[in-house]
Amino acid sequence: MTEETETQSTSQEDEPERLEVPAVARWPIFPFEGDMRVRKLEPRTEEERIRQGDPGGDPCECGSEELKPEPVWANDRWRVRPIQFANKAAPFPAYMLSTQACIDIDDLDDQYASELGILTIRLDRAVMSLGDVGRVHYNRWGDGGFHFHVWFLGRPKGAWQFSGYMLPIWGFTLPSLAPEIHARNDQLVGDHLRKSMSEE
């Protein structure tokens, strides 16, 4: 065995065995097909990653004077904005509910919690009212930014291939809806929220 061959053999032995591709990769809702492999697992860090808005991180976007996209509805404590996927318009109705103040979920008092519950139901109804939505999915992760926000994603009616937790991945994959459809949806969702929130 040459020195080069021995070095390659040692390197292969040191490399941890890769995990198997899970069965979900063969499910109809999975967006991709063909030969794939699981990424190497990175070692865990001692500290959590610094997010946007965390002390020492990039400033929270709530400090910007011109938020883009502009909210379709807002009051003095909450706002609802269209979601973009990798800086492109969404391929289905998609909105983000967030607080006006730069706070995280641990900072929400009982009043905020109550308002969050009411807004969740009313934003769900607003998105469903668009007429071509089968179900609205809510997602809250919070790993990218400190500022509390919840995703509301409207799965197109009858599009079972976009079901469940793969819907956000499809959001990055599918082509955007036409601008005129987004404009219509934004107007209808905003009008629905303005009407429902004024009836309290």
Going along the chain from its start, the domains and CATH numbers come out as 1-200 (3.30.428.10)
User: Which own/partner contact pairs does 87-90 have at CB distance under 8 Å and 24+ positions apart?
Assistant: 88/176, 89/176, 89/177, 89/179, 89/182, 90/171, 90/176, 90/177, 90/182
pLDDT digits (tens, 9 = 90+) for 85-97: 999 999 999 999 9
What sign does the dihedral 138-159-84-52 (CA atoms) show? positive
Q: How far apart are CA 200 and CA 184, in angstroms?
A: 25
Predicted local distance difference test score (pLDDT) of residue 4: 55
Predicted local distance difference test score (pLDDT) of residue 26: 93
Predicted local distance difference test score (pLDDT) of residue 112: 97
Low-confidence ranges of the chain (pLDDT < 70): 1-16, 62-67, 199-200
Q: How far apart are CA 56 and CA 138, in angstroms?
A: 29
Predicted local distance difference test score (pLDDT) of residue 67: 64
Predicted local distance difference test score (pLDDT) of residue 16: 67
111: which residues sit within 8 A by CB, 6+ positions away? none
Predicted local distance difference test score (pLDDT) of residue 125: 98
Burial of residue 176 (CB within 10 Å: 0-12, 13-18, 19+) is: middle
